[in-house]
Amino acid sequence: MSAQLIDGKALAAEVKAEAAAETEHLKAQGVHPCLAVILVGEDPASQVYVRGKVNDCKACGIESREYRLPADTTQSDLLALVGELAADRAVHGILVQLPLPAQIDEKAVINAIPPEKDVDGFSPVNVGLMQIGEECYLPCTPAGCIRMIQSTGTDISGKHAVVIGRSNIVGKPAALLLLAENATVTVCHSRTKNLKHLCANADILVAAVGREGFVTGDMVKPGAVVIDVGINRGADGKLHGDVNFAEAAEKAAFITPVPGGVGPMTRAMLMKNTTCAAARQNGITL
């Protein structure tokens, strides 16, 4: 392997230390940052994610409120809870763990979270503000990707960045944030022609496909920064990224591992969004 590893765990620890310091600063001014996390049903992966978020809050001194609702919760009951939390001045961030059971319209729930408490950055208002480069909450995974690229000392400006994937939660916002950093951005998806060729010309390659080992060594430009967002459960029962790590690491200058890469950074960025929400709602500068 010739690439340098971008250590997501170490970087996440740095980001969480920042969030912890911000929490102290807020507490000194009488504001106790608080994140409400709602989980509907018993999806095992979602349970793990929620447990992780609650633990991160603890580690940063942020108060967390956990709401576990049964899988047959109605949309109106969930909306009523979101409404209560929206009105509660002691709660600064509201996160509804996705996916939601089939009887609940995800869009309706996301739209019910007031933009100023939407620490996931998924609401249409935050998405629109991000699009026009105004103050907002950036979605945690793409924001984490940018921080990881910056941690390598790479100047994103003027680089050719290729994002594979165009989902609303990863691919599209990752492309927008790279554009905001003045990269020249190509977004690839399932209908893209010449995908291998496009990737092989990327100075920065972000893979958010959801297919184990999709990015092979021949798709990596020598010296590229490779960010692997994918989390795929392999036949071996372990987690694997979208990138064939062994092959890509021979060509890249910097690469993220899976696990221990984008995942921990995503969680850490949520803590930053929560302290930021508490500060903004109380007119405090961090």
Q: At what angle do helices 171-180 and 124-131 cross, to 10 degrees?
A: 30
Q: Are 202 and 174 in contact (CB under 8 A)?
A: no
Q: Which of 81, 130, 229, 271 binds ligand NDP (CB under 6 A)?
A: 229
Considering the rule CB under 6 A, would residue 210 count as an interface residue with ligand NDP? yes
- Write down the least CB distance from residue 201 to ligand NDP, Å: 16
Residue 140 Cβ vs ligand NDP, minimum distance, rounded to whole Å? 7
Give 36 or 258: the residue with its C-beta nearer to ligand NDP: 258
**Residue 197 within binding range of ligand NDP, rule CB under 6 A:** no
**DSSP-derived secondary structure for 191-245:** T-SSHHHHHHT-SEEEE----TT-B-GGGS-TT-EEEE---EE-TTSSEE-SB-H
Q: Hey, CA dihedral for 167, 36, 232, 71, is it positive or negative?
A: negative
Q: Which residues, 6 or more positions from 27, have their beta carbon under 8 angstroms from its beta carbon?
A: 61
Instruction: Answer yes or no whether residue 208 interacts with ligand NDP by CB under 6 A.
Output: yes
Residues in the interface with ligand NDP (CB under 6 A) total: 25
- The residue from 81, 156, 262, 270 that contacts ligand NDP (CB under 6 A) is 262
Strand partners, 163: 187, 206
Print the binding letters for residues 105-144 with ligand NDP: x by CB under 6 A, - otherwise. ------------------------------------x---
Q: Smallest Cα–Cα separation from 121: which of 142, 99, 149, 91?
A: 142
| CB 265, CB 144: distance < 8 Å | yes
> Would you say 61 or 263 has its CB closer to ligand NDP?
263
According to the 3-state scheme, what is the secondary structure of 114-145?
CHHHCCCCCCHHHHHHHHCCCCCCCCHHHHHH
Indicate which single residue of 95, 123, 263, 279 sits in contact with ligand NDP (rule: CB under 6 A).
263
Query: Given the complex with ligand NDP, which of 187 and 279 has the nearer CB atom?
Result: 187
Catalytic residue among 56, 117, 118, 120: 120
Binding region for ligand NDP (CB under 6 A) out of 115-123, 129-137, 177-185, 206-214: 206-214
Q: Which CB sits closer to ligand NDP, 202 or 208?
A: 208
Question: Per-residue contact track with ligand NDP, 171 to 190, x per CB under 6 A?
Answer: x----------------xxx
Q: Which of 97, 172, 203, 221 is catalytic?
A: 97
CA distances 165 to 142, 178, 229, 255, Å, are: 12, 14, 10, 18
Whichever of 52 and 114 has its CB closer to ligand NDP, that residue is 52
Asked if 268 contacts 119 with a C-beta cutoff of 8 angstroms, the reply is no
Q: Is 97 a catalytic residue?
A: yes
Chain positions contacting ligand NDP, by CB under 6 A? 141, 164-167, 169-171, 188-192, 195, 208-211, 229-232, 262-263, 266
